Structure 1
Amino acid sequence: MKPGFLDKLVSRLDSVDPGEVHQLVTRLIREKGTLTKVFEALREGVIILDPESRVDFMNTAACQFFGLDPKRATGELIASQIRGLDWESLARPGHAVSRDLEVFYPDHRYLNFYLAPIEDSGAPLGHVMLVRDLTTTRAEAEETLETERLNALTLLAAGVAHEIGNPLNSLDIHLQLMGRKLRKLAAGDRGPLEENLKTARQEIQRLDTILKQFLHAVRPTKPTRERCDLHFLLKETLKLLEPELASRNIAVELDLAEFLPPANVDGGQFQQVFYNLIRNAYQALPGQNGRISIRTRFTEYEFVITIEDNGTGISPEHMGALFEPYRTTKSSGSGLGLLIVRRIIREHGGEIEIDSKENSGTRIHIHLPRGDRSPRLLASPTIDL
């Protein structure tokens, strides 16, 4: 409703027939109600401000974005309702502003708002603020970017396999030939040479392992599914890691769900998932006497496996780059472990969730669907004729 129009109407009330005044007021009320319904139906947030930047109107979507009560917010300065923005610099006469905004309450959202002045014949009447939720769009953009990054890595992997894999095989063959010739020498002469040869072959094997990890991380793999006992896979993995855990005096606490149903997974791939995550957990433990807790539970729809440690945790700057290849905080790590883990879990239709705070440990949840999440067609109803 434009105040200028209302001022003109009030100034002419004396010369207007009472019946016409009634019709005008009824029309204004009806139009105001229609506009309110239109604004409430929008998914975008709508906020109307007066010239002093006080809230005149706020639709339901805007209230949900910022966690506000429209009754309490109406009449209040917008700066007191949405904190963290310099409204004096934003709400300049004659200037429209478009800005992105990240909010953490009541939900973590990425928003974009458009702030434009409302004028009547050059006289400022306030501002209108339109707010859009970009959270889903941003997530889709990040997923697209990740797909493009993995596609680029896949192309790179093909080149790496050719340019490095073949020379490594050739070197290994030549070292084997050298080893045969060394065995023909006298025992006293071949001792130092055998040590050097052993070191060279170990380094070649290490490079070959890194290459295989890289290829496994970026190449799409189709899991060979079968009914597996997740508890059995967990315990077998712990047996493999038992010497390292014992040498560090690390306690492993198991809280396993009773009567856990079999899971339709690739047992070898999921053993690799558990191996990487448990190994990451104990490597994050400072010194001796650390603790790792492993918990399983299930619902009608999914399995949830939780691996928690009381280690050093993950800093905020590293949390955003956990799944980037070759980004690692370990001096001897390849930075591919979590990338491989997430790829395997996602190929099984699941998701990995990481909750960590620096100096307070890390908790990892694996959400694995019990059934196929792909859509299915329902059978057509039978009709008796």
Structure 2
Amino acid sequence: MPTSNSSFERQKLLEKLSNDEGIYSELFMEAIDGIILWEDGGNIVHANESACRIFETSYNEITKCKIEDFVVDKDKKYKEILNVLYKRGAIRDEILFFMPNGQSKILEFTMKLQSYTGFHMGIFRNVSERNQMEQELRKSELKFRRVFEGTLEGIILWDNEGVVQDVNPSGEKILGASREELIGKSLKHMMARFSGNLDEMREIITQITMNGSYEGRIQLQGKGNENKLFEYLVNYNLFSEFTISTFKDITDKVEMEERLRKSDTLNVLGQLAAGIAHEVRNPMTAVKGFIQLLENSLKKESDHDMYFNIISTELARIDSIINEFLFLAKPQAVRYMENDIINIMRETVKLLNAQALLNNIQFRTYYEYGLPKMMCEGNQLKKVFINIIKNAIEVMPDGGYITITIKRLEDQTVRISIQDEGGGIPQDKLEKLGQPFYTTKERGNGLGLMVSYKIVDEHNGAVQVESSEGVGTTFHIILPMNN
């Protein structure tokens, strides 16, 4: 190992490199990485062309310097590097170097003591661009992570095998499941967990792979086993072979849109009802009066009695339709009072029992006793029960049973279920129930059910319908116990 920076020792080094021409040309002078040889004390004794380019200086200038002359900060890290180097004899690291032309570069280096003919060797590579790219990538990843975790929409990342790789906090909240429960699970497993349609999922994946992206709506079973409607957007292989899916719960939004649509319909009906009340009722009153005069002027044994009865019945039907229009159109003077919901149902059943017996129909009732009284408008709820039970009677021409159940639910609501044994309602028609002029009966206008839906809505309740063709239909009326 040399003890000084003598020209004699440097000459010996150059002579050895010159004598070994193959190594000199191939490994040293033509190396892409910068190579520097230095002696004890840090004085540089030799450098290849790449080293001169990296350090932005000439061969004559660089051999007059020490490596530490190019180090920007001789801080704690620099001292640790020297300690490791002289303790282990070799080190690999990177620090910031300052060039004679004013540039600063991050250089990755490997240093080894007594590496060549007793001199120490360092191999240098400029990694400033790589370091900058890594910093930008980290910043980009940080931005993505902040957006990923902060967005109000749910986000799921899954790979080409359909396995969930990540889910954001909003996604956990919307689905009611933690990251630990979802990450590593397949989409098929997720769909099964949330009671989704597997065939629908396969079709979605097919569309995604064909088109690169896909958006739509899907129904899943959320927390509390409630059916939720989700709107989603999927971008296939968006980055790093991951597919990103964003989704949000639009159940409340769709319900609100439906309420607004029905509200608009009611407004139109209100205007129509006002016209009907004025334009129809006045002439109808005159017609009724003249019919009565005409009927009284003829003998009761006249053959025209049947015609008078038909005319009177149809006029009464017209008057009933007008009343239903006016109920929908005008705000009702509602007085909410404490009422026993079971007594209201008993009075309704008693009122309709005769009509049921004429049609060979019997009532089966199952009431949960001990229910507290509810704040409601008893007469309006009775109108709802009458409408639904009369519909049940009309769809059972061959007789049977109408089953009425009143039960308290866990969420402080009461469910009134009215089940018939009629022919059932096709699934594509269930969603239209409650719309004006839509009915499944031959003689009907659909206003009865619409009135019933409106009354239940005003009581902050909901109507749910279940039906199976050939089996029957069940109307569930859900009402809050404390309105």
TM-score tier by shorter-chain length is 0.7 to 0.9
Aligned residue for 2:403, secondary structure, equals strand
Aligned to 1:113: 233
Aligned residue runs from structure 1 range 210-359, under 5 A = 210-285=321-396, 287-297=398-408, 301-359=412-470
Deviates more, 1:339-348 or 1:245-254: 245-254
Deviations 1:233-261 (A, max 9, x none): 21221121112222233232222122332
Deviates more, 1:190-199 or 1:322-331: 190-199
Greater percentage in strand: 2
Tell whether the 8 Å contact from 2:208 to 2:214 is kept in structure 1 after alignment.
Answer: no
CA distance in 1, matches of 2:314, 2:428: 32
- Match of residue 59, structure 1, among 164, 167, 175: 167
Aligned residue for 1:371, secondary structure, equals coil
Aligned residue for 1:368, secondary structure, equals strand
1:114, CA displacement in angstroms? 5.7
Aligned residue for 2:438, secondary structure, equals coil
CA distance in 1, matches of 2:164, 2:351: 66
Aligned residue for 2:304, secondary structure, equals helix
Matched, 1:42 2:156: no
Matched, 1:149 2:265: yes
Query: Are the structure 2 counterparts of residues 170 and 297 from structure 1 closer, same or farther at C-alpha, using a change threshold of 3 Å?
Result: same
Aligned residue for 2:185, secondary structure, equals helix
CA distance in 1, matches of 2:418, 2:293: 47
Query: Are the structure 2 counterparts of residues 127 and 272 from structure 1 closer, same or farther at C-alpha, using a change threshold of 3 Å?
Result: closer
CA distance in 2, matches of 1:360, 1:71: 43
1:35, CA displacement in angstroms? 3.6
1:129, CA displacement in angstroms? 4.3
Aligned residue for 1:72, secondary structure, equals coil
- Match of residue 72, structure 1, among 170, 185, 203: 185
CA distance in 1, matches of 2:220, 2:171: 14
- Match of residue 216, structure 2, among 75, 80, 100: 100
Paired residue type of 2:475: I
Deviations 1:93-143 (A, max 9, x none): xxxx56322234555423141638758xxxx97765443443332222222
- Match of residue 203, structure 2, among 64, 78, 84: 84
1:23, CA displacement in angstroms? 10
Aligned residue for 1:287, secondary structure, equals coil
Tell whether the 8 Å contact from 2:158 to 2:244 is kept in structure 1 after alignment.
Answer: yes
Paired residue type of 2:278: H
If asked which structure has higher relative contact order (CA below 8 Å, sep 6+), I would say: 1
Tell whether the 8 Å contact from 1:223 to 1:348 is kept in structure 2 after alignment.
Answer: no
Query: Are the structure 2 counterparts of residues 182 and 260 from structure 1 closer, same or farther at C-alpha, using a change threshold of 3 Å?
Result: same
Query: Are the structure 2 counterparts of residues 175 and 73 from structure 1 closer, same or farther at C-alpha, using a change threshold of 3 Å?
Result: same
CA distance in 2, matches of 1:134, 1:343: 23
Tell whether the 8 Å contact from 1:281 to 1:292 is kept in structure 2 after alignment.
Answer: no
Deviates more, 1:99-108 or 1:359-368: 99-108
CA distance in 1, matches of 2:242, 2:409: 55
Matched, 1:177 2:293: yes
CA distance in 2, matches of 1:46, 1:243: 59
The alignment's TM-score, normalised by the length of structure 1, stands at: 0.74
Deviations 1:276-332 (A, max 9, x none): 122222333351233423334366833332222333322111111001011111112
Aligned residue for 1:192, secondary structure, equals coil
CA distance in 1, matches of 2:244, 2:217: 17
Tell whether the 8 Å contact from 2:404 to 2:416 is kept in structure 1 after alignment.
Answer: no
Aligned residue for 1:71, secondary structure, equals coil
Structure possessing the higher radius of gyration over alpha carbons: 2
CA distance in 1, matches of 2:285, 2:375: 37
CA distance in 1, matches of 2:252, 2:420: 32
Tell whether the 8 Å contact from 2:269 to 2:328 is kept in structure 1 after alignment.
Answer: no
CA distance in 1, matches of 2:437, 2:340: 32
CA distance in 1, matches of 2:482, 2:454: 19
Tell whether the 8 Å contact from 1:256 to 1:297 is kept in structure 2 after alignment.
Answer: no
Tell whether the 8 Å contact from 2:164 to 2:183 is kept in structure 1 after alignment.
Answer: no
Paired residue type of 1:146: K
RMSD: 3.9
Query: Are the structure 2 counterparts of residues 16 and 363 from structure 1 closer, same or farther at C-alpha, using a change threshold of 3 Å?
Result: farther
1:197, CA displacement in angstroms? 2.6
Tell whether the 8 Å contact from 2:271 to 2:329 is kept in structure 1 after alignment.
Answer: no
Aligned to 1:137: 253
Paired residue type of 1:110: F
CA distance in 2, matches of 1:256, 1:28: 66
Tell whether the 8 Å contact from 1:222 to 1:347 is kept in structure 2 after alignment.
Answer: no
Number of residue pairs aligned between Structure 1 and Structure 2: 343
Query: Are the structure 2 counterparts of residues 370 and 222 from structure 1 closer, same or farther at C-alpha, using a change threshold of 3 Å?
Result: farther
Paired residue type of 1:254: T
Aligned residue runs from structure 1 range 188-207, under 5 A = 191-207=302-318
Identity %: 25
